[in-house]
A and B are shown apart, each in its own frame.
Chain A
Amino acid sequence: MTAAIPTRLGPVLISVLTAATLAFSSDHPARAQVPPKGPYVHGQVASKPAGGTADHGKFEVLKQDFKSGPEVTKACLGCHTEAARQVMGTLHWSWDYTNSRTGQRLGKKNVINDFCASVTSNEPRCTSCHAGYGWKDATFDFAKAENVDCLICHDRSATYWKNPTGAGHPPYTPVMQGDRQIGAVPNLSQAARSVGLPGRENCGACHFHGGGGDGVKHGSLDSSLLAPDRELDVHMDAKGPNFACTACHVTQKHVWAGSRYDVHAIDSKGLPRPGQRRDVATCESCHGLRPHKGWNLTDVTLNTHVEKLACQTCHVPAFARGGVPTKMRWDWSTSGRLRDGKPFQIRDEKGRPVYESIKGDYVLAENVTPQYFWFDGEIIYQNAERVFDPARQPVPINPISGTPGDPKSRIWPFKVMTGKQPYDSVQKHFVYLHVFGPTDAAYWRGFNWDKSISAGMAAMGLPWSGKFDFVETVMYWPQTHMVAPSAKAVKCGECHRTDGRLARLAGFYMPGRDSARWVDVLGIGLIGLVAAGVVGHALMRLVYRFRRRETPT
């Protein structure tokens, strides 16, 4: 029985840990974890119908005075005997994934990005988004059932949240920022009795705040999707279909469909029949392979586009559309400037930080037009084991693959995030950064790259030369959320023109954009010659007619 595993980490110890991590968090206002702002949107549509035969509010086991997250989990596991084991088999738990096609070790634990670069060595902070409790360093016990956090996904009381620096634990004592308390300390018993199917608030608690703040990372995932209108997202429209994330990211036994590490760039199966697959998050799995239903020429033509264009390419005309900006560039090289020996921030006219001593310069943007690339779903991550040529900048952090003629590839919209970040300038690979921690080795405390990189690489067990420099990087984020109403979808003429959205995408013929230049030149030449000939002939006729009148024969 999973519930019978004894807890080693008592509530007292947790409080100590929390207090310790909080002590060095006060100068980071952009938080990946924020307290719920208001009641959750009810009636969200999930992949399975809400409701059942049990009212969690009536369970005696949930009426106790829970002192810690793991205590709640133990109570959950008393009935849901397989839940922890199921969660432990997923990415939400392991943050570790091996791509079976490329053999590359991926997952948050392993990949490098151009935000805070890496998780390892920054645990108590990064792992505030782990679906577990207590991942504060490499000693975390991934086999311990009560370390699974049930509430972050299932709390529907709008009171539960994770301490931004608590290694996944909720705050057990007030979280202070200066003199101000942030949020409220969750009432774990109330949260435990409120549980239900995950809503946008639950997934969004982490996924809307990736990269260190609201909307920072993904581009089309931010807090504006908590209760969006139809203009922002036709599916999540709170007054319309009101889809929860799991309506598309269908979940069975805690395994959900759809992951950036295993992208379905094309779905050739389409709408499943009753009894067939349900574990797909593709548009086609609901809309079919001929998604435009009309019999007019436009719809018929658009259906022929489906093989070459991801649905998102037209139906996500722009990202960061909900009023929350996303980060388009992050330049680490300018970080570390101090005023009076203290880190500082520069904010834009809307009060949003655009420079922070701890992180460097940012570019924020809203309503961003995506960039488009052929994409077959395969992404190689430029992790530290891969050497690159720094002469060829920007260095792609996650090179995507795909070609025009390839039946597995389609044109996809991307947020292209650029950055400038440290790399090992001798061995020519990226480095893992230790940015968050209690000692001066952490960059956000000591502002010393040598120490930060040394600590980060040591935590990964990787060697580095000891010499670093900054390199321009680029990272590709496929866009799939913020689906606009059909009337706002990208119009034909936005791509079928020389200066359109696909102007830079080479290797295929597209009417309105491409033409054989020599044919155009010859054609225009022919028309010019003919026109000149006709005009000349006509003029000569006029001249001769005039002369004949002058000199009648």
Chain B
Amino acid sequence: MTVMRVKVFTRFERFWHWSQAALIVVLIGSGLGLHGVHRLVRYGDMLTIHVAAALALVLLWLFAVFWHLTTGQWRHYLPTLQGLGPILRFYALGIFRGEPHPFRKTRRRKHNPLQALTYLMLKLVLFPIIWVSGLLLLTYDLWHQKPWSTAGLEAIATLHTAAAFVMIAFLIVHVYVITTGHTVGEQLRTMITGWDDMDLDQAEAEVLKRDGAVG
């Protein structure tokens, strides 16, 4: 096994990540406004921004889903308990003692087990809740005449809001955890440039070297 500098995140992945990040920030900001937390933008414009960003995110996700399925990259998010213990111990103890991060990216797993589990929950639970509830709110006109619409509107809006709070909490933790690499800015740089150290077996290293894909 050798550690080499490799392009971990492809151009599409980085585009997807950063445009998604930007859209989520816009959605949180405008969503807080729609929730009545601030009045930085006129309410009607806030709604337009919120919905436009949401629809853009849905479009982005259609591409992302296609990309995950066609490239097989979805396998990185398969949940596993293997190696989860050391990760938890690292964040609870090891990080303070200056121990190195117990996880090293490989061609099969570029996320540590905790990360993979978190992202999986995000993708399979939180995002769908936000989107489905949001789309229901957006299509209120189609169901407002149902007898349950008055109570339904409140329930759906409440679910949407609750999910948004969890999203904000995730964002805070996420932004913090990327500072826990070898250096504070190392993981951020990786997400921008795509390059990171990776554990490669001999065959992988050969192929990557042949293709000139190592740094």
Q: Which residues of A contact B (CB under 8 A)?
A: 296-298, 301, 303-304, 307-308, 404-405, 407, 491-493, 496-498, 507-509, 511-516, 519-520, 522-524, 526-527, 530-531, 533-534, 537-538, 540-541, 544-545, 548
Contact = CB atoms under 8 A, between A and B. Distances in A.
B153 interface: yes
Contact of A519 (B43, B47, B165, B176): B165
A431 B51 CA distance: 56
B43 A492 contact: yes
Contacts of B35: 511-512, 515
B158 A515 contact: yes
Contact of B172 (A296, A307, A534, A540): A534
Contact of A496 (B36, B96, B145, B162): B36
Contacts of B144: 304, 307-308
Contacts of B114: none
Contacts of B201: none
B126 to A, nearest CB: 13
Contacts of B165: 519, 522-524, 526-527
Contact of A509 (B36, B44, B153): B153
Interface string B132-171: 0000000011001101011001100110011011101100
A298 B48 CA distance: 7
Contacts, number: 110
B81 interface: no
B36 A540 contact: no
Contacts of A304: 140-141, 144
Contacts of B179: 538
B36 A522 contact: no
B158 A541 contact: no
B172 A527 contact: yes
B173 interface: yes
Contacts of A496: 34, 36, 43
Nearest to B50: A297
B108 interface: no
A530 B169 CA distance: 6
A508 B158 CA distance: 13
For the residues of A in contact with B, the DSSP-based class is helix
B2 to A, nearest CB: 29
Given A493-B43, A541-B96, A519 B161 contact: yes
Contacts of A522: 162, 165
A516 B42 contact: no
B56 interface: no
Contact of B44 (A404, A492, A527): A492
B154 A297 contact: no
Q: Which of B43, B91, B144 counts the most A-chain CB atoms under 10 A from its CB?
A: B43
B43 A508 contact: no
B210 interface: no
A519 B158 contact: yes
Contacts of A531: 172
B157 A509 contact: yes
A301 B52 CA distance: 13
Contacts of A526: 165-166, 169
B48 A523 contact: no
B168 A512 contact: no
Given A491-B43, A492-B42, A407 B36 contact: no
B39 interface: yes
Nearest to A300: B141
Interface string B64-103: 0000000000000000000000000001000111100000
22 contacts: A298-B44, A304-B140, A491-B43, A492-B42, A497-B36, A508-B150, A509-B150, A511-B34, A511-B35, A513-B36, A515-B157, A519-B165, A522-B162, A523-B165, A527-B169, A530-B169, A533-B173, A537-B176, A538-B176, A544-B97, A544-B98, A548-B97
A545 B98 contact: yes
B30 to A, nearest CB: 12
A523 B162 contact: yes
B39 A497 contact: yes
Interface string B162-197: 101110110011001001100000000000000000
Q: What 9 A-B pairs have minimum CB-CB distances, sorted nearest first?
A: A523-B165, A493-B43, A509-B154, A492-B43, A544-B96, A304-B141, A492-B44, A534-B176, A516-B158
Nearest to B162: A519
Contacts of A509: 150, 153-154, 157
B207 to A, nearest CB: 38
Given A407-B145, A523-B161, A296 B48 contact: yes
B58 to A, nearest CB: 15
A254 to B, nearest CB: 38
Contacts of A515: 35-36, 157-158, 161
B172 A491 contact: no
Contacts of B161: 515-516, 519-520, 523
A298 B157 contact: no
Given A511-B157, A523-B161, 20 more contacts: A297-B52, A301-B44, A304-B141, A405-B149, A491-B42, A491-B43, A491-B44, A492-B42, A492-B43, A492-B47, A493-B42, A496-B43, A497-B39, A512-B34, A512-B43, A515-B161, A519-B161, A523-B168, A530-B173, A548-B98
A511 B35 CA distance: 6
Contacts of A534: 172-173, 176
Contacts of B140: 304
Nearest to A548: B98
A297 B51 contact: yes
B50 to A, nearest CB: 9
A524 B35 CA distance: 13
Contacts of A512: 34-36, 43
Nearest to B173: A530
B56 to A, nearest CB: 13
Contacts of A514: 154, 157
A522 B98 CA distance: 35
Contacts of A405: 147, 149-150
A483 to B, nearest CB: 20
A132 B172 CA distance: 77
A541 B97 CA distance: 9
Nearest to A306: B141
Contacts of A497: 36, 39, 43
Nearest to A525: B165
Q: Which of A296, A297, A527 counts the most B-chain CB atoms under 10 A from its CB?
A: A297
